[in-house]
Structure 1
Amino acid sequence: MRRALIALAWRCLALLSLALGIVGIFLPGLPTVPFVLLAAWAAGRGWPRLEAWLLDHPRWGPDIRRWRERRAIPRKAKWLACAMMSVSLAWMWLAPMPLSAQIGVSIVLAGVAIWMWQRPDA
């Protein structure tokens, strides 16, 4: 019984992550690939058929395999992510928000950008 509940939890996480990844295709600002990577990871723990489907998918499969093998991120994706983060930061700094929130988010996004550019190019 416990094993079945754990497998169900992994499947739910995989489906939720995949759904968010699909929504991210159409919704600017919501990333797709991180959610698909999370879906593949969760599926590998509770839904091997979904994991195999994601790994064989013509669009997402190569990105998942590159991430698993070398933790690599395509250079184009790095540039796009930095551009989106820059636009988000500009909007945020123009919005009436507390200065502490603006500084905090800026620090977090700078950390994400630094981490991302330290990953190998795919």
Structure 2
Amino acid sequence: MGWVCLLLGLIGVLLPLLPTTPFIILAAYCFSRSSRRFHQMLVGHRLFGPIIRDWEAHGVIPLKVKWISSTMMLLMISYPVFFKPLHWGIDASMLGVAVIALVYIWSRPSRPRQDSNPSSKPELRPQADSADSA
């Protein structure tokens, strides 16, 4: 399954209608369950690695990725409106899928929360019981 997702993601680099990032993240998830070697290959990739690491560690989609994916989605669904006759069922379903995807993308944080950084967490010290202090 990881290879299928990776292949679909790579095809998505060439075809703007097919999303790349979700397939790459899904491939990384599949490889994390099946092949540590290929998971590390994706996490270490110069282009996809930071996106995968942010997603795995914090559930974050960087702002730049949000803008690029939103722009590409809107361009792809607007193309038929301007250059083809309208087919209400197909066009409405495309618009519905795009709206759901956009809502999901923009509902994710753009950067890690401050309290998710381990170095910023206050150190927990065991408290003495009242019996110990008496």
- Are 2:104 and 1:115 aligned? yes
Larger gyration radius, structure 1 or structure 2: 2
Q: Following the alignment from structure 1 to structure 2, what is the Cα–Cα distance between the partners of residues 55 and 93?
A: 38
Identity, % of aligned positions: 32
The answer to whether the 8 Å contact 2:9/2:22 transfers is yes
Q: Following the alignment from structure 1 to structure 2, what is the Cα–Cα distance between the partners of residues 59 and 103?
A: 33
- Give the unaligned 5+ runs of structure 1: 1-12
Higher mean alpha-carbon deviation, 88-97 vs 109-118, is at 88-97
Alignment-mate amino acid for residue 115 of structure 1: Y
Render the CA deviation track for 1:31-79: whole Å, top value 9, x for unaligned. 2221111111111111121112212222222111100111111111111
Q: What is the number of residues matched between the two proteins?
A: 110
The answer to whether the 8 Å contact 2:16/2:76 transfers is no
Q: TM-score, normalised by structure 1?
A: 0.79
Q: Following the alignment from structure 2 to structure 1, what is the Cα–Cα distance between the partners of residues 69 and 45?
A: 22
Structure holding more helix per residue: 1
Where does residue 7 of structure 1 map in the other structure?
Answer: none
Alignment-mate amino acid for residue 67 of structure 1: W
Q: Following the alignment from structure 1 to structure 2, what is the Cα–Cα distance between the partners of residues 101 and 18?
A: 27
From the superposition, tell whether residues 22 and 42 of structure 1 become closer, same or farther in structure 2 (CA, over 3 Å): same
Q: 2:47 aligns with which of 41, 48, 59?
A: 59
- Give the unaligned 5+ runs of structure 2: 112-134
Q: Following the alignment from structure 1 to structure 2, what is the Cα–Cα distance between the partners of residues 69 and 45?
A: 16
Alignment-mate amino acid for residue 99 of structure 1: W
Q: Following the alignment from structure 2 to structure 1, what is the Cα–Cα distance between the partners of residues 10 and 101?
A: 22
- Are 2:69 and 1:81 aligned? yes
Where does residue 87 of structure 2 map in the other structure?
Answer: 98
Alpha-carbon RMSD: 1.6
Where does residue 4 of structure 2 map in the other structure?
Answer: 16
Q: 1:69 aligns with which of 57, 60, 66?
A: 57
Q: TM-score, normalised by structure 2?
A: 0.73
Q: 1:40 aligns with which of 13, 28, 49?
A: 28
